[in-house]
Structure 1
Amino acid sequence: MGTAVLVAVILIWIIKDTSRRGANTLVWSVFTVVGLGLLPLIVYFLVRDPLTLDDHMADKLNNDVLKLERSYYAFLMDEQDRKCPVCGHEVKSRYRFCPACGNELHTVCPACGELMETNWKSCPHCGHKVEQPEVKGELV
């Protein structure tokens, strides 16, 4: 009689805990009844997920918030004003040309059409190799 009560208590606890942790409740219930409670309880403690489903959801939400914050701060940093290397006029990072002197700040990748720095040798978006234009002129 005492063993049956102990198995029943362990069974109820395992059913509640497996449902909170996302484990297979039916398998653990059968294993608990067949194994008479104590051995399955020890095995369950060794193999169960240390986090509950709520813990996993909270971790996922925290990670999503961190990703959103990182992308927001990257957006803010990208929108900061910069200075044109030729005339020193303040320009936005998304500008292709300086509005004051017309200096080309960014070039367009011929393969994907994304903006890239004029001195880059390959596009960071698609990996296309960009040939640098040769400077033509006469030496005097």
Structure 2
Amino acid sequence: MNDDKTPTLQKGRDHVMSIDLGSIISKLNELLLISAFLFGGFLAAFHISLVVWTFRDIRSRSRDLFSQLLATLLVFVFNLLGLFLYFILRPRETLAESYERALEEEALLRGIEERPVCPNCGQPVEADFLLCPGCHTQLKKSCPDCGRLLYLPWDICPYCGYPVPPQEPAPPQEIEEVEEEIVTT
């Protein structure tokens, strides 16, 4: 047997264990260092991407250079808290959305202003119609002198100055009566 009190097998295992534990700790230290470096790089890239996104977003929402600079610096200095504040303070619409909304409103107003309607049935009529095509209500009258169209309540032609007696709108005729008049003429 061995004159040493501990067996050689035991000594070898302890020796291997101490070497393995030291190498594991050094490998773990390297792994943690690499992980911390990668995580720090990710956080830096995330921070830069937030700043770039904020700059692009505020540029699409405002033409004011001071607002653009302030919003970008807010996110650059305060990171996520700055982004949260930016979301609260930023303009609700982008410039493109605001422009589209203004165009839609203008088109709606033009549509309302430009389209005359029949006072009796509400059907859209043209400016030069004498009668409503839907309910046959008289909309305008002709000047006997110059032939231009006049509104019914007018008592003088603004184009030639001819005096015309004012006329109230005639009640709508039935379609059959109009058809009979067309057939007889």
Change (3 A) 1:97 1:5: same
CA apart distance, 1:74? 3.0
The unaligned stretches of length 5 or more in structure 2 are: 1-39, 118-124, 132-137, 142-148, 158-162, 169-185
Matching residue's letter, 1:16: R
Alignment-derived partner of residue 94 in structure 1:
151
The two structures have a TM-score, normalised by structure 1, of 0.56
2:135 counterpart of 1:66: no
The unaligned stretches of length 5 or more in structure 1 are: 83-87, 107-140
Aligned residues of 2:75 and 2:86 also touching (Cα < 8 A): no
Matched residues, percent identical?
17
Q: CA RMSD in A?
A: 3.2
Matches within 5 A, 1:47-58: 47-58=89-100
> 1:46-88 deviations in whole A, cap 9, x for unaligned?
2222321101000000111111111111385765547xxxxx9
Q: Select which of 55, 60, 74 maps to 1:20.
A: 60
How many residue pairs match? The answer is 98
The two structures have a TM-score, normalised by structure 2, of 0.44
| Aligned counterparts of 2:71 and 2:59: Cα–Cα separation in 1 | 11
More helix by share: 2
| Aligned counterparts of 1:20 and 1:77: Cα–Cα separation in 2 | 42
SS at match of 1:97: coil
Matching residue's letter, 2:52: I
